[in-house]
């Protein structure tokens, strides 16, 4: 409702209407008169006060009046539980003490249906809460505090469900530079004239039961629905600029028009300056909050706009005026008008976004902040977190909004672009569902539900703010904007995600960490969001145990979603600074010569460059292991996440610590086992894996401790074998550009290289000094020889002497485990080199027979297993030499020479 001009009224004054008290009010009146009579009959000098009593009042009897808002509301037929009681010759505290004294006398409480007086704060808080309460609340004295715009001491007490303020009649004398007046006892006329509006300046005389209108305008102005100051407006506002805001509040609350002369004064720059300078922001905030919580907050903001008071009220007083951002009020009138229309017409927008008085208040509070929509984000001091948006600072400092309101304003500003964009994407998808799109589906239940969870419990207010900002930004499309937001909200209602913020995840963090076999940590929060998104996509899924089992078994939609999430948002950031230089962002081999890393004089700790090794990030490697194992069950995902899972594995192999190299090798082996050969060929990463893994074969003593070398080699050989099988598959994919012969040649060449650089070099390097390491080398030589097959005959001149160097010596006791590994390697040599066994049988027999003789007298479990292995080797040799030599005749000669060999050669 826009401010109206003063209406013409008749000259005849409006007669004072009669006031009918309720039963409770009548009881209160009777009590107060009895106390007044008691005071008059027994005067007391107790109860000091800051206000001096004039001599002419000392001899007068006590006269009591109900003042201000209660009288106005009574005349309007509005029930009020707040009553200000003015006393002509005592302060409120003095009268309150006598009231308490009177009620403490035996029998007096019962006269008014009361039973007790509260003796402590806890009792006082409950006392007098309703008209049925029979306990009188304790007295609370509120001292005068001019710095907080509290100019007179008052005393409050609660009786029969009524909140009573006791205060003396007063007059005020103002100074030029302060709103704080000099307070004195005054006459009823002086008290009425100092009030903010004539309709608030009428009294109900408790003694005479009549309405008193000492301004002579109160009744007339109520009849004409006009807000007018009792005295000249300019001086009234100059004395107390807060009255500007009070008049705005009363006009919007009562539906009255403000007097034209008052409107002119309210626009005056001097008054605006005085309001900014003299009034505490707490008092400004109180008045604005009351106005926005009132029956017509639109009218309150409309008056602020039309009186050009916006910057005076809504600004941050902690910022110099010259440096303060100038709010953009263009279009703000349209904003508040649209909000009024949306709410008053009971639109679907209002139904879904404004469910109660609190959300209605927040809608208008946010509308008040729209002029700051484009204010630049304040910069943060070094090492400090960013300050809130300007609008939130204005709310917090300018009108002293509560933390809840300030936080909602901050969140609304920060999320406005996200909300608006999601609404636009949703409507675009609805209009053109067949059109391809990038990113998330803005109509999907999980996308919208997770958005609401991000926005939190106040999401409705955030959407309302975004709607208002879009309305101001595109005034030519207000109806279309409303349709878009309505469609968006109705879709949220249709898919039942309006309360998504209150949904509980199927799994809690502890259960999820246990299912993933991963230490708890900060990673759980985002992972639980993945679980929640899965729930939103599958609203019928409610079985927690089934969800836990799915994660453990790594099968189904939920594990797939977790794999994507962990790789993209948990693991990848931790490996960002150590990602391999020879791999592109797309997970392909980077072609061309690589530039060396830039030299830096600054020393950087691994805590910074390799956060995945930090003790605070122990979950990273556990999650990576889970992801790789999950990919074994979700093989269809491997190509999708290839570019995310490979770089961390390569970074680990490239690390200087053996334990990370070993883990990287394990993960390489696991991932290569499920990698489609064509994917490895297309990305060119086969060569990258080779360059990373092959150097690990040289991690041997003495530079590398034997235990670490064994750990690493035990993991590297299987990884290289897995690389060979994927890089050079026996079943060639149709898409491959290579033919069978080429792949076969490359496979053999690769395996030959591993045999030479790993097995031959490692065995020669270790000699007899590191028998355990020799055992590891021979153990891994077996699958290599089997993989090479008959082509391994070219290595017989190296393999047999190497094995015999371990099997033959009698001067050193080799561990049975090492000898057994060498024996298994001999078996593999015979099986794969059978075409040439005829010419190499002597050397084979030498190693086997010497080893047998060396251990023949032993009988422990390990030795017995070794002997069985040696006998198996003889049987394999016998089969390989069939039709090539008289094996039995040759072995008979050996048995004749040493009878201990009879058991060995026995068929």
Tokens of 788: 């090479």
Of 3.30.420.40, 1.10.1740.110, 2.60.130.10, 3.30.460.10, the CATH number of 23-212 is: 3.30.460.10
Is 50 exceeded by the pLDDT of residue 9? no
- β-pairing, 162-168 vs 154-159, is antiparallel
DSSP 873: H
More confident residue, 160 or 269: 269
Q: What dihedral angle (degrees, nearest 10) is formed by the CA atoms of 406, 408, 412, 415?
A: 110
Half-sphere exposure for 438 (CA within 13 Å, toward CB): 0
Cis peptide before 493 (omega within 30 of 0): no
Q: Name the residue among 293, 263, 354, 198 with its Cα closest to residue 2.
A: 263
pLDDT at 501 over 70: yes
| Inter-residue contact 688 to 668 (CB < 8 Å) | no
Q: Tell me the C-alpha distance between 811 and 806, whole Å.
A: 11
Q: Is 603's pLDDT higher than 90?
A: no
Q: What angle do CA 446, 447, 451 make, to 5 degrees?
A: 110
Looking at residues 518-531, what average pLDDT do you find? 91
Specify whether the CB–CB gap between 462 and 411 falls below 8 A: yes
Q: Calculate mean pLDDT across residues 521-543.
A: 92
Distance of alpha carbon 12 from alpha carbon 884, whole angstroms: 142
| Residue 475 pLDDT > 80 | yes
HSE-CB at 216 with a 13 A cutoff on CA atoms is: 3
Taking a C-beta distance cutoff of 8 angstroms, is the pair 445, 536 a contact?
yes
Q: Return the closest-CA partner of residue 627 out of 727, 528, 527, 711.
A: 527
Alpha helices in 141-280 (DSSP H): 188-193, 218-224, 233-239, 242-254, 260-267, 269-278
What are the tokens at 376? 């630049």
- Pairwise CA distance, residues 587 & 575, whole Å: 14
**Residue 148 pLDDT level (bands cut at 50, 70, 90):** very low
User: Mean pLDDT in the chain?
Assistant: 91
CA distance 735 to 179: 87
> Hey, how many other C-beta atoms are within 10 angstroms of the C-beta on 361?
18
Output the pLDDT for position 174: 62
What pLDDT is attached to residue 5?
34
**Tens digit of pLDDT for each residue in 370-392?**
999 999 998 888 888 999 999 99
Per-residue pLDDT at 882 exceeds 90? no
pLDDT for 16 equals 62
The predicted pLDDT at position 521 comes to: 87
**Residue bearing the bigger pLDDT, 283 or 68:** 283
Q: Are strands 203-205 and 210-212 parallel, antiparallel or unpaired?
A: antiparallel
Confidence of residue 142 (pLDDT cuts 50, 70, 90): low
What are the helix (H) ranges across 20-157? Answer: 23-41, 55-58, 69-76, 92-103, 108-111, 121-126
pLDDT digits (tens, 9 = 90+) for 729-773: 988 888 888 888 999 999 999 999 999 999 999 999 998 999 999
State the DSSP H helix or E strand holding residue 807, giving kind and residue range, or none if neither. helix 796-807
List the structure tokens of 34: 């009895």
Please give the residue that has the higher pLDDT: either 15 or 231.
Answer: 231
Question: Does the pLDDT of residue 179 top 60, yes or no?
Answer: no
Per-residue pLDDT, averaged over 879-897, amounts to 88
Compute the distance between CA of residue 317 and CA of residue 322 in angstroms, rounded to an integer: 11
With a cut of 50, say whether residue 1 has pLDDT above it: no
Inform me whether the pLDDT recorded for 6 exceeds 50: no
> Nearest CA to 806 among 841, 830, 771?
771
Give the model's pLDDT for residue 175. Answer: 58
What mean pLDDT do residues 704-732 have?
96
**Maximum alpha-carbon separation in the chain:** 150
Q: Among 18-22, 145-149, 150-154, 350-354, whose mean pLDDT is lowest?
A: 145-149
Question: Is it the case that residue 659 has pLDDT exceeding 70?
Answer: yes
| 695 Cβ neighbours under 8 A, 6+ residues apart | none
pLDDT tens digits for range 313-346:
999 999 998 899 999 999 999 999 999 999 998 8
**pLDDT higher than threshold 70 for residue 264:** yes
DSSP bridge pairs for 140: 156
Reference 70, options 202, 187, 191, 167; nearest CA is 202
**The pLDDT of residue 117:** 85
What is the C-alpha separation between 335 and 367, in angstroms, rounded?
7
| Whether residue 151 has pLDDT greater than 90 | no
Mean pLDDT of 528-552: 92
- Specify the pLDDT at position 134: 74
Contact between 392 and 404 under an 8 Å Cβ cutoff? The reply is no
Quick one: pLDDT band at residue 602, thresholds 50, 70, 90?
Answer: low
Find the mean pLDDT for residues 812-832: 94
Q: Are strands 116-117 and 82-87 parallel, antiparallel or unpaired?
A: unpaired
Token reading at 831: 């099986």
Determine the pLDDT at residue 367. 98
Could you read off the pLDDT of 612-656 as tens digits, one per residue? 998 888 899 999 999 999 999 988 899 999 999 999 999 999 999
Q: Is the pLDDT of residue 8 over 60?
A: no
Sign, CA torsion 744/632/623/447: positive
* Look-up of token digits 């349209």: 334
Q: Residue 618 region, left (φ>0) first, then alpha (ψ -120 to 50), else beta?
A: alpha
Q: What percent of the chain has pLDDT over 70?
A: 92
pLDDT attached to residue 683 = 96
pTM of the model: 0.80
Give pLDDT, residue 794.
95
Q: Which two tokens stand for residue 841?
A: 């049988």
State how far the alpha carbon of 601 is from the alpha carbons of 578, 583, 596, in Å.
Answer: 18, 26, 15
What residues form DSSP beta bridges with 257?
226
Does the pLDDT of residue 163 top 50, yes or no?
Answer: yes
| pLDDT band, very low/low/confident/very high, at 204 (cuts 50, 70, 90) | very high
Q: Is the pLDDT of residue 803 over 50?
A: yes
| Number of residues assigned to the chain | 907
Q: CA 446, CA 443: separation in Å to the nearest integer? A: 9
Provide the residue ranges of all domains of the chain, joining segments of one domain with +: 23-212, 321-379+387-502, 776-907
Judged against a pLDDT cut of 70, whether residue 862 lies above it is answered with: yes
pLDDT at residue 48, rounded to an integer: 56
Q: Give the span between the Cα atoms of 653 and 598, in whole angstroms.
A: 22
Q: Which two tokens stand for residue 751?
A: 């395996």
**Element containing residue 360 per DSSP (H, E):** helix 357-369
């Amino acid at each position: 409702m826009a401010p109206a001009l003063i209406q013409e009224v008749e000259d005849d004054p409006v007669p004072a209407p009669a006031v009918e008290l309720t039963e409770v009010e009548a009881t209160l009146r009777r009590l107060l008169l009895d106390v007044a009579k008691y005071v008059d009959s027994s005067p007391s000098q107790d109860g000091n006060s800051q206000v001096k009593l004039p001599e002419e009042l000392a001899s007068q009897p006590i006269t009591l009046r109900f003042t201000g808002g209660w009288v106005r509301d009574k005349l309007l037929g509005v029930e009020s539980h707040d009553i200000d009681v003015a006393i002509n010759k005592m302060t409120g505290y003095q009268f309150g003490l006598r009231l308490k004294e009177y009620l403490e006398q035996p029998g007096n409480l019962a006269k008014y249906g009361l039973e007790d007086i509260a003796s402590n704060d806890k009792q006082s808080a409950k006392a007098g809460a309703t008209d049925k309460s029979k306990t009188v609340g304790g007295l609370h004295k509120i001292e005068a505090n001019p710095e907080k715009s509290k100019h007179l001491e008052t005393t409050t007490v609660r009786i029969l469900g009524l909140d009573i303020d006791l205060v003396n009649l007063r007059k005020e004398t103002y100074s030029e530079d302060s709103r704080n007046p000099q307070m004195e006892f005054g006459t009823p006329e002086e008290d009425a004239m100092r009030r903010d509006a004539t309709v608030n300046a009428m009294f109900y005389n408790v003694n005479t039961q009549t309405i008193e209108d000492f301004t002579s305008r109160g009744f007339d102005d109520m009849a004409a629905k006009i807000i007018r100051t009792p005295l000249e407006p300019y001086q009234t506002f100059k004395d107390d600029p807060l009255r500007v805001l009070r008049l705005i509040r009363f006009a919007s609350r009562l539906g009255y028009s403000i007097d034209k002369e008052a409107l002119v004064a309210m626009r005056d720059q001097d008054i605006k300056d005085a309001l900014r300078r003299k009034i505490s922001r707490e008092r400004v905030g109180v008045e604005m909050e009351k106005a926005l919580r009132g029956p017509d907050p639109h009218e309150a903001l409309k008056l602020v706009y039309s009186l050009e008071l916006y910057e005076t009220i809504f600004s941050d007083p902690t910022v110099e005026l010259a440096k303060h951002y100038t709010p953009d009020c263009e279009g703000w009138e349209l904003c508040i008008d649209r909000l009024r229309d949306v709410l008053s017409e009971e639109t679907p927008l209002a139904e879904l976004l404004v469910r109660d008085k609190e959300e209605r208040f927040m809608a208008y509070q946010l509308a008040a902040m729209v002029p700051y929509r484009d204010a630049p984000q304040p910069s943060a001091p070094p090492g400090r977190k960013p300050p809130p948006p300007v609008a939130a600072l204005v709310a917090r400092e300018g009108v002293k909004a509560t933390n809840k309101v300030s936080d909602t304003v901050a969140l609304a500003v920060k999320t406005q672009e996200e909300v608006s964009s999601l609404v636009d994407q949703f409507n675009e998808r609805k209009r053109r569902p067949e059109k391809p799109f990038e990113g998330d589906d803005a109509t999907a239940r999980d996308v919208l539900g997770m958005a609401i969870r991000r926005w939190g419990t106040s999401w409705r207010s955030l959407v309302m703010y975004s709607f208002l900002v879009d309305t101001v930004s595109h005034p030519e499309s207000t109806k279309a904007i409303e349709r878009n937001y309505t469609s968006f909200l109705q879709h949220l209602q249709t898919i039942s995600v309006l309360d998504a913020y209150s949904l509980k995840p199927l799994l809690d963090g502890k259960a999820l960490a246990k299912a993933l076999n991963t230490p708890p940590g900060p990673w759980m929060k985002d992972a639980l969001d993945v679980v929640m998104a899965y729930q939103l996509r599958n609203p019928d899924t409610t079985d927690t145990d089934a969800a836990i089992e799915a994660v453990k078994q790594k099968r189904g939609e939920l594990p797939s979603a977790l794999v994507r999430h962990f790789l993209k948002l948990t693991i990848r950031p931790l490996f960002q600074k150590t990602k391999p230089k020879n791999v592109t962002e797309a997970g392909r081999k980077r072609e061309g010569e690589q530039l060396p890393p830039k030299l830096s004089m600054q020393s950087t700790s691994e805590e910074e460059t390799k956060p995945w090794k930090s003790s605070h990030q122990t979950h990273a490697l556990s999650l990576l292991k889970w992801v790789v194992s999950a990919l074994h069950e979700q093989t269809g995902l491997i190509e999708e996440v290839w570019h995310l899972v490979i770089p961390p594995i390569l970074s680990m192999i490239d690390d200087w610590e053996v334990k990370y190299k070993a883990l990287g090798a394990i993960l390489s082996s696991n991932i290569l086992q499920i990698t489609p050969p064509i994917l490895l060929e297309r990305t060119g990463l086969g060569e990258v894996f080779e360059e990373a893994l092959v150097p690990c074969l040289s991690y041997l003593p003495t530079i590398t401790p034997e235990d670490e070398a064994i750990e690493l080699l035990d993991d590297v050989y299987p990884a290289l074998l897995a690389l060979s099988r994927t890089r050079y598959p026996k079943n060639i994919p149709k898409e491959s550009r290579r033919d069978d012969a080429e792949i076969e040649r490359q496979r053999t060449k690769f395996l030959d290289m591993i045999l030479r650089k790993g097995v031959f070099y490692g065995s020669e390097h270790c000699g007899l000094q590191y028998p355990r390491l020799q055992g590891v080398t021979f153990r891994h030589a077996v699958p290599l020889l089997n993989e090479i097959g008959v082509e391994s005959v070219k290595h017989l001149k190296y393999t047999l002497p190497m094995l015999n160097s371990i099997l033959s010596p009698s001067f050193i006791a080799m561990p049975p485990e090492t000898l057994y590994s060498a024996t298994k390697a001999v078996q593999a040599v015979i099986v794969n080199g059978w075409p040439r066994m005829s010419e190499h049988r002597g050397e084979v027999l030498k190693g086997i027979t010497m080893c047998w003789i060396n251990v023949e007298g032993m009988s422990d479990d390990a030795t017995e297993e070794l002997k069985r292995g040696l006998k198996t080797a003889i049987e394999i040799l016998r089969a390989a030499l069939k039709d090539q030599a008289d094996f039995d005749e040759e072995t008979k000669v050996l048995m004749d020479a040493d009878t201990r060999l009879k058991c060995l050669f026995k068929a």
